[in-house]
Amino acid sequence: MDRVFSGIQPTGVPTLGNYLGAIRNWVPMQDDHDCIFCVVDLHAITVWQEPKLFAAQTREMAAALLACGLDPQKCILFVQSHVHAHARLAWIFNCVARLGWLNRMTQFKDKAGKNSEQVSSGLYVYPNLMAADIHAYHALKVPVGDDQKQHLELANDIAQKFNHDYGVEFFPTIQPLIQGVAARVMSLRDGTKKMSKSDPSDASRINLTDSADEIAQKIRRAKTDPEPLPSELAGLEARPEARNLVGILAAITDSTPQDVLRDHGGKGFGQYKEVLTEALVAHLGPIREEMARLLQDHAALDAALRIGADRAAAIADPIVTEAERIVGFLPR
Ligand code: TRP
C-alpha cells in the first residue's frame, strides 16, 4: 500500500471548508493506503499563536479529525511537535533548498505582503518543513488543496537536489493528490473568497462546532442574489454565492451540482436555504457531538495522540537518522 501523508494546521476551529475540502477526502483513503495524518503545530507558530488558545486549538483539531472519521486503528494520527524527526530533517532541508526557490513561493508573498521584513523567518522556510514532514516518512502521495501544489513541487526539488548532491537515491518523488477543487467551499459573505477559519467575520463560515441554531442563522444570512435557482449549471455562471450554496449541498449529500439543480432549480433562496440547513445539521450534528465527547476527556485524547506519535516516530526516526548519516553527521 502506498504511503500517504497530509497535514492540517491547528490555527482555529475547523470549518466546513476544511471538512469538505480536505478531511472528508482523507477518510476513505484509510482503507487502501498506509495513511499518516498530522496536526502541524510547528507550521502554525510561523505566525503568532497565543499559547493557551493554541494548545486548545491543537486538541480541538485532533478531536475534529477523529470525529470526522479518522480511525487510529486504520491510520496514524499525531501532533507534529511530538515527533522530533520533522525538525531534524527540516534543518537539513533548510541547507538544501535554495533562497531563489523560496523567493518564488507565492503563498509566502501573499502571507507576507508588504510586511516581508517583519514576518518570522519560520514563515519563509515553511515549505522546507513541509517537505520534511513528507520525506521523513518516504510518503509517496500527498492529498492537499490547490494552494499547496507549489510547495509539493518544491518538496520534489529538494528531494532531487539532496539525492543528487549526496549521490544517493534516498528520497522518492512524491505525487500530489489535488483535492477539493470541485468541492471548494467559499465564504458565506463573499462567494469569490475561500471559506477560512481566519476570516474576521464568523458569519462567513460554518464551524464544525456550530450548533444547529448557529448553522441555521448563518445560512439564513448567507449572501445570495435575487434570482431563483437555475435548473442548469450554466445558470450559475457569474453567480458565485448561488454556486457556492449549490456546491455545499452537492458535497454534503454526495451528489453533484447538476443533481441539486435538477431537484431544486426554480426555488427561491428562502426555500432552498431551509433544505440546505436541514442537510447540514443532519450531517454535521453527529460530528459536533463526537467532537464534544472527545474534548471532555483530555487524558484519553492525549493518550491517543501519544500512541500516534510513537507509531509515527517508529517510521520517521530511522529514515531521518539515515539522512543524517548520508549528510555525514557523526553517529552518537
Ligand atoms: N501547508 C499545509 C496547509 O496549510 C499543511 C501541511 C503541513 C501539509 N505539512 C504538510 C500538507 C505536509 C501536506 C503534507 O494546508
Query: Could you read off the pLDDT of 108-161 as tens digits, one per residue?
Result: 999 999 888 999 999 999 999 999 999 999 999 999 988 899 999 999 999 999
pLDDT for residue 286 is more than 90: yes
Going by C-alpha positions, the residue among 36, 1, 9 that lies closest to residue 316 is 36
Please, which pLDDT band fits residue 199 given cuts at 50, 70 and 90? very high
* Residue 73's CATH number: 3.40.50.620
Q: Is 11 in the pocket of ligand 1 (CB under 6 A)?
A: no
User: Does residue 184 fall inside a structural domain?
Assistant: no
Q: Is 9 in the pocket of ligand 1 (CB under 6 A)?
A: yes
Q: Is 5 in the pocket of ligand 1 (CB under 6 A)?
A: yes
- Whether residues 43 and 129 fall in one domain: yes
What is the phi/psi pair of residue 186, to 5°? -105, 165
User: Does residue 132 fall inside a structural domain?
Assistant: yes
- Whether residues 95 and 231 fall in one domain: no
Ligand 1 centroid – CA 128 distance (Å)? 11
Residue 143 CA: which ligand 1 atom is closest? 13
Query: In this prediction, what percent of the chain has a pLDDT beyond 90?
Result: 94
Buried b / exposed e over 281-296, threshold 16 CB at 10 Å, is bebbeebbebbeebbe
- Taking a C-beta distance cutoff of 8 angstroms, is the pair 139, 175 a contact? no
Left (φ > 0), alpha (ψ -120 to 50) or beta: where does 180 sit?
left
- The catalytic residue among 111, 161, 223, 267 is 111
- Whether residues 10 and 59 fall in one domain: yes
Q: Is 90 in the pocket of ligand 1 (CB under 6 A)?
A: no
Query: What does the alpha-carbon distance between residue 306 and residue 62 come to, in Å, rounded to a whole number?
Result: 12
Nearest residue (by CA) to ligand 1, atom 10, is 7
- Of 14-18, 22-26, 40-44, which one has max mean pLDDT? 40-44
Ligand 1 centroid – CA 296 distance (Å)? 28
- Whole-number pLDDT of residue 182: 59
User: Does residue 195 fall inside a structural domain?
Assistant: no
Q: Is 43 in the pocket of ligand 1 (CB under 6 A)?
A: yes
What is the phi/psi pair of residue 254, to 5°? 55, 40
Query: What does the alpha-carbon distance between residue 202 and residue 198 come to, in Å, rounded to a whole number?
Result: 9
52 is catalytic: no
Q: Is 21 in the pocket of ligand 1 (CB under 6 A)?
A: no
- Whole-number pLDDT of residue 222: 97
- Whether residues 155 and 8 fall in one domain: yes
- Taking a C-beta distance cutoff of 8 angstroms, is the pair 130, 310 a contact? no
Q: Is 142 in the pocket of ligand 1 (CB under 6 A)?
A: yes
- Whether residues 213 and 276 fall in one domain: yes
* Residue 209's CATH number: 1.10.240.10
- Whether residues 246 and 170 fall in one domain: no
Angle between helices 51-67 and 269-295 in degrees, nearest 10: 110
- Whether residues 260 and 302 fall in one domain: no
- Whether residues 56 and 141 fall in one domain: yes
- Whether residues 225 and 139 fall in one domain: no
Nearest residue (by CA) to ligand 1, atom 6, is 7
Helices (H), the chain: 16-18, 24-32, 41-44, 51-67, 85-94, 99-103, 106-112, 121-135, 149-166, 212-221, 240-252, 257-264, 269-295, 298-327
Sheet containing 75-79, strands listed edge to edge, beginning at the edge strand earlier in sequence:
75-79, 34-39, 3-8, 141-144, 175-178
Please, which pLDDT band fits residue 198 given cuts at 50, 70 and 90? confident
Please, which pLDDT band fits residue 180 given cuts at 50, 70 and 90? low
74 is catalytic: no
Domain count along the chain: 2
Nearest residue (by CA) to ligand 1, atom 15, is 8
Domain residues for the domain of 156 are 3-177+298-327
- Whether residues 24 and 135 fall in one domain: yes
User: Does residue 141 fall inside a structural domain?
Assistant: yes
- Whether residues 269 and 313 fall in one domain: no
For the whole prediction, is pTM greater than 0.85?
A: yes
267 is catalytic: no
User: Does residue 197 fall inside a structural domain?
Assistant: no
- Whether residues 108 and 253 fall in one domain: no
- Whole-number pLDDT of residue 120: 97
- Whole-number pLDDT of residue 183: 64
**What are the DSSP calls for 31-66, one per residue?**
HHSEEEEEE-HHHHTTS---HHHHHHHHHHHHHHHH
Residue 44's CB: how many other CB atoms inside 10 A?
21
Query: What does the alpha-carbon distance between residue 22 and residue 33 come to, in Å, rounded to a whole number?
Result: 16
